[in-house]
Amino acid sequence: MPEFALVSRPALPHSPVGDASRVRIEALPEGHVLHVLAAGGRDITPEQLASLGDGTAHAVRRYAPGQWFVVGNEALGSKEYREKAARLGADAAVSDQSHGRVRVAVSGSGARSLLAKGCAVDFSPSVFAVGATAATLYNHIGIHVTRTAEDGFELLVLRSFAQSLWEDLSVNHGEH
Amino acid sequence: MTAYRLGQGGRIDRSRTLGFTFDGTALSGHPGDTLASALLANNRLLVGRSFKYHRPRGVVAAGAAEPNALVTVGSAGRREPNSRATMVELHDGLRAESQNRWPSLNWDVGALNGFLSPFLSAGFYYKTFMWPASFWEKLYEPFIRRAAGLGRASYHADPDRYEKVWAHCDLLVVGAGPTGLAAALTAGRAGAEVILADEASEPGGSLLFDSASVDGQPAGQFATQILAELATLPNVRLMTRTTVFGWFDDMVFGAAERVSRHVSQPLPGQPQERLWRIVAKRAILATGAEQRPLVFPGNDRPGVMLADAAVSYARRFGVGVGRKVAVFANSDAGARTAASLQAAGINVVALVDARVGHPAAVTVPRIFSGGVVSGTSGSRALGAITVRHAGGEDRFEADALAMAGGYSPRIHLACHRGGKPRWSDAHQAFLAPEGLAGLTLAGSAAGARTLGECLSQGAAEAAAVVADLGHTGTAAQFGAVDGDVPEGSVRALWHVPGGKAFVDFQNDVTVKDLGLAVREGFSDVELAKRYTTTGMATDQGKLSNVNAIGILAEARGVSPAEVGTTTFRPFYTPVSFGALTGSSTGHHFQPVRRSPLHGWAEKHNAVFVETGLWVRSSWFPRQGETHWRQSVDREVKTVREAAGLCDVSTLGKIEIFGADAAEFLNRVYCNAFAKLPVGKARYGLMLREDGMIYDDGTTSRLDENHFFMTTTTALAAGVMNHLEFCAQTLWPDLDVRMASSTDQWAQMAIAGPLSRAILQVIVDEDLSDENVPFLAAKTVSLFGGQLEGRLYRISFSGELAYELGVPAGFGEAVADALMEAGEPHGICAYGAEALGVLRIEKGHVTHAEINGTVTAEDLGFGRMVSQKKVDFIGKHMLEREGLVDAERPRLVGVKPLNPEQSFRTGAHILAKGAEATLENDQGYVTSSAFSPHVGSTIGLALVTRGPDRHGEEVVIWNALAGETVPGVLCDPNFVDPSNEKLHA
């Protein structure tokens, strides 16, 4: 069935909510999310991890001891994924989570206040600087949050929870 | 008592008038009023009826501790019962109603209880409603329930939004009175992140009514000046209308902010209330002290109130609480109160000081040194008081009585994490426990007695905290305090003997009740509380507890130190369920997990069902099908005769990597996995340590060091945790790593005799039985190389079947393609219901059977349990006597003798002819369904020696529904028992 048009259905087919000057919630492109798991006793260097990314700043996000997510806006085909995974050889396994996890950007001067309505992390810049990342919750939903700019955050969420997260953020956005 | 609005003074805005109603009567007040001050200004003294005796009651306090003035405000969904009138801010259109009275506040039938009071003493419930026992449920309990309770909740839905928020700071200062302001200013100037929270609408605490001055400025003006400086500090956040209600582990404080309660409805976008979780590095309690009432005969008559409340109404709200005010105190607070009231232009007629030899520095017509108030009179409000003194008794007119019985530091939060308060003879009060890591007390919460002490302590504690946190700063200095009148010596006066003297106004507990508790053996403070109800309900004894402890101590002949306090627990004051719930209501009650094939299912008219957080397609009704069974029967038959497509994306999926992954799986499954070839799937049984089955699923070897495990939907997270636990703690030496990929894959089951032909349309490689045999598992190219997927030849239905996993975003497109390719073959979508029927027909188990009490042997998997492996989880406990007992319930099929009869899951199995009793119970039906192929209801059951009893007639007994159905036990594999179709 080679003629069949394959279309990927986005988990969050929504227009951005809010105004960038205050708080804006935006579903990011479903590009790639690579879950890197270092082999027992192997060290993965920041350079090795960065080499998997597409140059996007703060693409590498620590997830657990010896585990990282590497994210980017470009969707990868099977070949590209395999080629990237092979770069780390036996040092690490790479699990493709590009469809399993969805990224949501929260930005603007009120971003911290919106995040505080569901998230216990202290986002003051002295504690959670640009580039910092944490596995946490937004209300009852598990997220992985990264500060990508002074007033910019990215939430990585399991695809099945993405719609609920979007709704929770939108509800809490009301005040802004 | 005649209360009235003073001609001048107060912090109210006299230029504006607000209209409100109380019990339907239109009244007015000013911005800055509370409902209590506005009622007093309108000479509405009677505001409620007491709980037990329905005695007329008036306002006692001016803040959060108010026990009497509980009213219902608002209407419909915004109706708030048990609101303290002293905390309700007046706003235009406010509707308030009194409670606990019928037919009206002035003429209350319940007041007849007062005549029954000899019979309604402490513990009367326990003594009176005991016999006969059968009366309890039908008569006594409904009667008590009707009589008890104060306000009534609304049955309307709350139209407003609530939210929960986290905040973080270096220093949380609780209370924005003089101590808190001094602390916040000191820490703020030093650059610390400060949150200053105060329960009142206006910060300032006692400065708002204190007649002293600081550095030549009146106290109120001084507060304004400090607040102005705080407003310039971006690192200081002032939160008003915010009650810090609890101190929890890890320095988390709970606080409830009444965002919109002071207006008739929330502004757009604003919540009604907001619940804060404040994580503070340090905290200073600047919560002040609660003035105690005095316990004397007739002390509950409207018009009797706390001295500080009377001063507060005069100086903050511009209200005179009476035209002839008497003052009764056991310290210098009496003279101070008299002077403050006089300065506000209020007529003070008497000062009664319980102490001897403390001349008052005020001029009052009657001064009684060493006197006590021994009685009050008046109908529904105070008219006169009687003073007992060395020279006898005097009775004279007074329409308000201000009482000052000493101070109790507000130490509640400091005791929320288990610390016990300490009695101080010097303070005649309980002080906070010592050694509270991270939390200190300052000002009158710590026993300070003057404004000057409060200011300097607040500043000093904050300076110490910020230094400890690495900031540089010095304690804020304030000028001299003038007009500060300390309490002086306090005479312990726990009660004045005589008539009915109330200790706890809210619960109608008298001195006599506490004496009775002691005489009857309930003298321990915790028992006395429960026996008499003192210190219960909405005010939690803020005014009454210390007096009750003093009275218990006197009755027992010991010090209050020995009696101790009851346990302090959150919440400091009541917090609404709305705030605690936050935004998790209705549709947002809990998150919803959507399958990547949700949209596909919607297009096919799916009926959805919630399974845990997941929403799964249950069945797919077609035109003309009016009953779910029609759809499910059709789907089941179509799968067995042609093909069907089912969304199985919700099943747990785990990628397992590592050089030791095979060994790891060999240890977590009871059956062998070490030698599973690449490209093969195997059904695996995972046991718990106790030998019972934990979960099942298939695991495929995709590469030498890469396995793909599936779990049940319900235990996906549980199995992931279990594997991580095993890898990290049991066998850290193994090189194995796990990644959940449940959400990565849209997974479809394509089942039925025609499934191969349909699937072949989109799969690029040959799907013949030779190339893709039963239990094959491999990565395949799809749509001429456009996409890769994972193909597994596994079957839950017993038919020739495959599962195809594709990246989630492509799930819907691939399912569409398969439906298109299958259309000529008659494919249908089938849901979780048909899936259930298909698996029951084949005797395949789910967690209905894997119920936590079954072994592999019980389910017929005994031979799967490896005898060769050295070890695996559950191996050794499997040998327990009870787990190898031949009488254990084991899996068996069951069907009715008469196909027209049916039975339900949960029905029990009895031997034929046995009496229907639980003693004769032989097992129960774990799953049941109507099987279109068998032509009757069929079931799976766990029955004693089940597999040995195929063909035996039994009785299927449903005691709940009163049904008994003759049935027969049989092979649980109802369809194609030789599995020919599976291997086609």
- Give me the residues of A, 74-133, that contact B with CB < 8 A: 78, 93, 95-101, 116-122, 124, 127
Angle, helices B661-668 vs B716-725, to 10°: value is 110
**Nearest-angstrom CA–CA distance, B432 and B421:** 5
**Nearest CB partner across the interface for B809, out of A9, A116, A163:** A9
Contact A11 B809 (CB under 8 A): yes
Question: Cα distance from A9 to chain B (closest Cα, Å)?
Answer: 5
The minimal CB distance from B658 to the residues A40, A99, A168 is found for A40
Shortest Cα–Cα distance, A6 to chain B (Å)? 6
Pick from B593, B760, B823 the residue to mutate for testing the A interface (most A CBs within 10 Å). Answer: B593
Q: A4, B592: Cβ pair inside 8 Å? A: no
Q: List CB contacts (< 8 A) between A172 and chain B.
A: 163, 583
| Contact between B593 and A161 using a beta-carbon 8 Å cutoff | yes
> Alpha-carbon distance B819 to B842, whole Å?
25
User: CA-to-CA distance for B75 and B212, rounded, in angstroms?
Assistant: 42
pLDDT of the residue at B127: 67
Residue B103: is the preceding peptide bond cis (ω within 30°)?
yes
Note whether A176 contacts B269, CB cutoff 8 Å. yes
- Give φ, ψ of B429 to 5 degrees: -160, 165
Chain B interface includes A174 (CB < 8 A): yes
Closest B-chain CA to A139: B584
Residue A174 has pLDDT above 80, yes or no: no
What CATH superfamily classification does B652-740 receive?
A: Aminomethyltransferase beta-barrel domains (3.30.70.1400)
Nearest CA in chain B to A113: B165
Walk across the sheet containing B392-397 and list its strands.
Answer: B372-377, B384-389, B392-397
Sheet holding A67-72, edge to edge: A60-64, A67-72, A32-38, A92-96
Best probe of the B interface among A160, A167, A169, A170, by most B CBs < 10 A, is A160
Distance (Å, rounded) from C-alpha B12 to C-alpha B37? Answer: 10
User: What value does the CA radius of gyration of chain B take, rounded to a whole number of Å?
Assistant: 38
A67 touches chain B (CB under 8 A): yes
What are the CA-CA distances from residue A37 to residues A80, A135, B457, B870, B874 (Å)? 18, 16, 55, 29, 29
Instruction: Indicate yes or no: CB of B809 within 8 angstroms of CB of A37.
Output: no
Give yes or no for a cis peptide into B889 (omega within 30° of 0). Answer: no
Hey, is the C-beta of B269 within 8 angstroms of any chain A C-beta? yes
Which of B276, B469, B731, B743 is most worth mutating to test chain A (most A CB atoms within 10 A of its CB)? B743
Per-domain residue ranges of chain A: 16-29+99-176, 32-97
Which residues have a Cβ under 8 Å from the Cβ of B737 and sit 6 or more positions away?
A37, A38, A39, A40, A66, A67, A93, B656, B657, B658, B727
State the Cα–Cα distance between residues B984 and B979, nearest whole angstrom. Answer: 9
State the span(s) of chain B assigned CATH 1.10.10.
492-580
Q: Is B788 an 8 Å CB contact of chain A?
A: yes
The nearest alpha carbon in chain B to A96 belongs to B744
H or E element at residue B957 = strand B953-958
Cβ count near B828 (within 10 Å): 24
Q: Give CA angle at B111 (B106, B113), nearest 5°.
A: 175
Domain B593-650+744-839 has CATH 3.30.1360.120: yes
Amino acid identity, residue A102? V
The torsion of the CA quartet B930, B931, B937, B938, rounded to 10 degrees, works out to: -120
Q: Which CATH number fits domain B162-289+409-482: 2.60.40.1180, 3.50.50.60, 3.30.2320.80, 3.30.429.10?
A: 3.50.50.60
Nearest to A98 among B592, B595, B807 (CB): B807
Interface of B with A in 731-770 (CB under 8 A): 734-737, 739-745, 761-762
Pair B592, B613: CB distance under 8 Å: yes
Residue keyed to tokens 């093969």: B680
Of all helices (H) and strands (E), which one includes residue B834? helix B832-841
- Using CA atoms, how far apart are residues B70 and B50, in angstroms rounded to an integer? 10
Q: Which residue of B has its CA nearest to A30?
A: B809
Fold of B492-580: Arc Repressor Mutant, subunit A (1.10.10)
Residue B55: Cβ within 10 Å count: 24
Residue recorded with tokens 């087919």: A13
Chain B nearest-CA distance from A10, in A, is: 6
CB contact under 8 A, B165 and A116: yes
pLDDT tens digits for range B206-245: 999 999 999 999 999 999 999 999 999 999 999 999 999 9
Q: What CA–CA distance (Å, rounded) separates B291 from B61?
A: 9
Cβ-Cβ pairs closer than 8 A, A with B, add up to 162
Chain A touched by B823 (CB under 8 Å): no
Q: Does B804 touch chain A (CB under 8 A)?
A: no
Note the CATH number of domain B886-984: 2.40.30.110
pTM: 0.93
Task: Please judge whether B594 and A160 are an interchain contact, meaning their C-beta atoms are less than 8 angstroms apart.
Answer: yes
Tens of pLDDT, residue by residue over A114-173, are: 999 999 999 999 999 999 999 999 999 999 999 999 999 999 999 999 999 999 999 998
For chain B, residues with pLDDT lower than 70 are 1, 114-116, 118-120, 123-131, 143-149
SS3 B576: coil
DSSP B217: E
| Cα separation values, B827 from B450, B539, B750, B801, B931, Å | 86, 67, 9, 13, 20
Domain A16-29+99-176 in this protein, CATH class: alpha beta
Q: Summarize pLDDT for A26-66 with one digit per residue, the tens.
A: 999 999 999 999 998 788 999 999 999 888 889 999 999 99
Residue B333 tokens read as 């607070």
Determine if the peptide bond prior to B571 is cis (ω within 30°): yes
| Whole-number pLDDT of residue B129 | 63
Which of A14, A122, A159 to mutate: most B Cβ within 10 Å?
A159
The verdict on B111 touching A (C-beta cutoff 8 Å) is no
A91-119 pLDDT, tens per residue?
Answer: 999 999 999 999 999 999 999 999 999 99
B301 interface with A at CB cutoff 8 Å: no
Buried-state track A12-47, b at ≥16 Cβ within 10 A, e below 16: bebeebbeeebbbbbbbebebbbbbbbbeeeebeee
Closest by CA to B846, choosing from B669, B651, B655, is: B651
Contact with chain B for residue A58, Cβ under 8 A: no
Secondary structure of chain A as H, E, C letters? CCCCCCCCCCCCCCCCEECCCCCEEEECCCCEEEEEEECCCCCCCHHHHHHHCCCCCCCEEEEECCEEEEEECCCCCHHHHHHHHHHCHHHEEEEECCCCEEEEEEECCCHHHHHHCCCCCCCCCCCCCCCCEEEEEECCEEEEEEEEECCEEEEEEEHHHHHHHHHHHHHHHCCC
Q: How far, in Å, CA of B320 to CA of B323, rounded? A: 7
Say whether A2 and B783 touch across the interface (CB within 8 A). yes
Which residues of chain B form CATH 2.40.30.110?
Answer: 886-984
Distance CA A72, CA A34 (A): 9
Alpha helix ranges (H) inside B307-389: 307-315, 333-343
**Contact criterion met (CB < 8 Å) for A100 and B744:** yes
Asked if B809 and A39 come within 8 Å (Cβ–Cβ), the reply is no
What is the distance of C-alpha B711 from the center of its chain?
Answer: 32
Residues of A in contact with B786 (CB under 8 A): 2, 4, 6
Helical spans, DSSP H, in B567-627: 577-581, 598-603
Please count the residues of chain B. 984
> In chain B, positions 168-207, which contact chain A (CB-CB < 8 Å)?
168, 193
Q: Which of A1, A8, A163 sits opposite B761 (nearest CB)?
A: A1
Average pLDDT over residues A4-28: 93
Q: What local confidence, expressed as pLDDT, does residue B144 receive?
A: 66
Distant-in-sequence, close-in-space partners of B572: CB < 8 Å, separation ≥ 6: B64, B243, B244, B245, B246, B412, B413
Distance from CA of B237 to the nearest CA of A (A): 13
Q: Where in chain B is the domain with CATH 3.50.50.60?
A: 162-289+409-482
Query: Taking CA atoms, what residue in B is nearest to A35?
Result: B739
Using DSSP bridges, classify how beta strands B273-285 and B162-174 pair: parallel, antiparallel or unpaired: parallel
* Contact list, A32 vs chain B (CB under 8 Å): none
Q: CB-based contact (8 Å) between B813 and chain A?
A: yes
Backbone φ and ψ of A93, nearest 5°: -100, 150
* pLDDT the model gives residue B124: 66
